[in-house]
Structure 1
Amino acid sequence: MRTPRNRVLAVGAAATLALALAACGSGEDSAAPAEDPDEIVLSLVPSGDVDSITESAKGLESFLSDKIGIPVRAEVTESYAAAIVAMKSDQAQVAMLGPIGMVQAEDQAGAVPVLQSVRYGSGTYHTQWFTNDPDTYCTDEVKVVEGFKYCNGTDAAKTGPAGEEAIAKIKPGTSIAFVDQGSASGYYYPATQWSQVTGGDALVDLDAQFAGDHDAAILAVARGDYPIGVSYDDAREEVAADEPKVASDVVVFAYSTEIPNDGIVVAGNLSKELRTKVTDAFTAMAKDPKGLKTLEAVYEIEGLEKVDTAALKKAKSVEENFGE
């Protein structure tokens, strides 16, 4: 059964200008550790409906406050960039971010990655490329699996990459519905993949349009606004009920390489004791039936595990391709 791989959320290059400016003077923050706050602010970034994640976040506040022993307040930021800036300016002490966001929070805000999400037994996911023009981008027959359309072997592939011969057909100047300039699966990884496959410069050669979230990118292609879009796999399930064209007109034709799942970072200026309490609270939440339901409601998280530092290093290498 094909199911959504990730909701998330990846802070990334989109914020390069804002974060580069915010980074000036960051070296002065590494002196004595600050006194622990009386309240913890948890920064969240919506991958779809803002009202839905805001409501689900109430469960996070309640469970974490009880386990940590001080109030936890969740704040939904307006952008990926804002989440990192909030951590850098001590307006947030914890954030749930995508892999690019985790490494940037570490570099720019001195945050410490502590946990990583698990979905469907895996710590990775991939971008799906989709189109409303299968005649151009499908090299074989379109197949329908559980109501959704695939080609180029993506119906059978469990991991990426896949369909890269079709990615090579995307010509410079093509308008593409990316998600957000800070999203791993919605920008960083697919843009990097196109550059590697074609030898071009995605930052210069493609007509990048940013839909704002994964749902919006799918709807933009379904409604014919752009010929190609990207999202996590398979975000179509989130919007198909509201827009029938998603099932009839949106065909997945390629996958990116595997991407480490989103995770949790904690402010580096918190005491070691409080960082441990935060980490233990999230770990306990993932093992508690009621707590796990809350994590599923917020970001479709099915488990949490110790952060994969090697995988994040690979994500960092992707992030570095985008420069300053």
Structure 2
Amino acid sequence: MKNRIFASAAVAAGLAIAVAGCSSSGDTTDEATASADATMDAGSGLPESLTLALVPSDDVEQITTDGEALAGVLSDELGIPVEVFVPDSYNAVVVALQTGQADIGFLGPIAMWQAHEEAGAEIVLQALRYGSSEYVGQWFTNDPGTYCLDDVTTEADDEGINYSYCNGATGYSGPQGEDALALVPADASIAWTDATSASGYYFPATQLATILGVDPINDLTGGFFAGGHSQTVQAVYDGEAAIGLSYNDARSNLAEEFSDVGEKVVVFAYTDNIPNDGVVLSGDLDASVQETLTQALLDVAATEDGLAALAAVYDIEGLEAANQDAFENFVAPTYENFGSE
């Protein structure tokens, strides 16, 4: 059964990560080598090892394998071991950062701010996709007669699949179509992605609540969590919901199976631009270490192997310094609308 309760962030699970220690042998040569290594680590300020926390986006085994490749490239760049930890949720990564069990976390924008607020983590980098560090959440419907205030237009992609839009909601920049959102009743059947999704819940729910003047948790009563971006498109395509939310453009995920999905499911509005997911660092690390790690990740992203590893993990096409103003002025207020348990 789908969850029809608009809960705030899920309760964080307790985590335990065993970090292997290093020891030297009694041999004089080995002791001298260990002493030299310790001096090098002390000089660089880096810890003896680091833990990189990743959230599974689909297949746990695959992202663990891909994450280990990324950790290997980063380890080569830094000269110290980097371990990979893949929990079952964003909240688990936040807890790991909070308890000193993770040093680096790859998170979505809401979880990045949550880590900043609850774990004292530093927001340092954002992912680049299609040349941008921002994206939009898209509103779509199977009822364009109600929510399209102008003519529906259709564009074909490189594969010849048609995608339909209205209210200026085409491209990758928002907000668009907000006049149509005023027509959405608070009890509308809306397929939201899940309770931790920035583009599929937090930002569009806040956008709708602002336009309608309602509480995003208690007053939007007709929605349900479909469980994923592809699932929200499927729900609207099948008529289970009149409206759905996803990142732009999740309709393509179903285009191979349903060639008419882009025409039957019409995008009619966009959220404001949302900062991409990115990287946070443990607040327990010294500022100089944080700077070293940030630069190391940027350097890794500038290499062929590093970029391939980032692409394999989260389809990341590059990294850049985080837009702190966007997080403070846009992500933070949205996070506060929902709070945490």
Instruction: Quote how far apart the aligned CAs of 1:52 are.
Output: 4.7
2-structure distance, mates of 1:112, 1:321: 22
**Residue of structure 1 aligned with 2:264, choices 244, 249, 258:** 249
Q: Specify whether residues 109 and 253 from structure 1 end up closer, same or farther in structure 2 by C-alpha distance, changes over 3 A only.
A: same
Tell me the alpha carbon deviations over residues 89-144 of structure 1, each in whole angstroms, 9 at most, x when there is no partner: 22322111122111110110111111112222322211111112222222222222
The residue number in structure 2 matching 1:91 is 101
Asked if the contact 1:81/1:182 (under 8 Å) is kept, the reply is no
5+ residue gaps in structure 1?
1-12, 23-34
Structure 2 segments unaligned to the other structure (5+ residues): 1-6, 16-44
Query: Which of 246, 266, 276 pairs up with 2:291?
Result: 276
Partner of 2:176: 162
Q: Would the aligned equivalents of 1:48 and 1:214 in 2 still touch at CA under 8 Å?
A: no
Corresponding position: 1:319 with 2:319: no
> Counterparts of 1:170 and 1:50 in 2: how far apart (Å)?
37
Which of 231, 255, 258 is the equivalent residue of 1:240?
Answer: 255
Q: Which runs of 4+ in 1 moved over 3 A?
A: 16-19, 35-39, 46-55, 242-245, 271-274
Q: Secondary structure at the match of 2:9?
A: helix
| AA of the residue aligned to 2:197 | S
One-letter amino acid of the structure 2 residue matched with residue 319 of structure 1: Y
3-state SS of 2:338 partner: coil
Q: 1:300 to 1:270 in 2, by over 3 A?
A: same
Q: 1:287/1:144 Cα in 2 relative to 1: closer, same or farther (>3 Å)?
A: same
User: How many Å apart are 1:223 and its aligned residue?
Assistant: 2.7
CA contact (8 A) 1:15 1:182 kept: yes
Which residue of structure 2 lines up, in the alignment, with residue 258 of structure 1?
Answer: 273
Evaluate the alpha carbon distance shift between residue 242 and residue 297 of structure 1 in structure 2; reply closer, same or farther with a 3 A threshold: farther
Normalised to the residue count of structure 2, the TM-score between the two structures is 0.79
Letter in 1 for 2:9: A
Q: What is the match of residue 192 of structure 2?
A: 178
Would you say the 8 A contact 2:191–2:241 is kept in 1? yes
Listed one character per residue, the Cα deviations across residues 296-317 of structure 1 (whole Å, up to 9, x for unaligned) are: 2322222211121111102102
* Alpha-carbon distance in structure 2 between the residues aligned to 1:311 and 1:218: 28
1:187 pairs with 2:205: no
The answer for the alignment partner of 1:42 in structure 2 is: 52
Report the count of equivalent residues: 298
TM-score, normalised by the number of residues in structure 1: 0.83
**Structure 2 CA distance for aligned equivalents of residues 48 and 252 of structure 1:** 25
Percent identity, aligned pairs only, is: 46
Query: Using the alignment, how far apart are the partners of 2:328 and 2:70 within structure 1?
Result: 28
The structure having more radius of gyration, on CA atoms, is: 2
Matches of 2:167 and 2:60, distance apart in 1 = 34
- Post-superposition CA distance 1:10-57 (Å, at most 9, x none): xxx8426549x99xxxxxxxxxxxx97644222222444555534432
- SS across alignment from 1:265: strand
Say whether 1:134 aligns with 2:144.
yes
Distance (whole Å) between structure 1 residues aligned to residue 256 and residue 60 of structure 2? 18
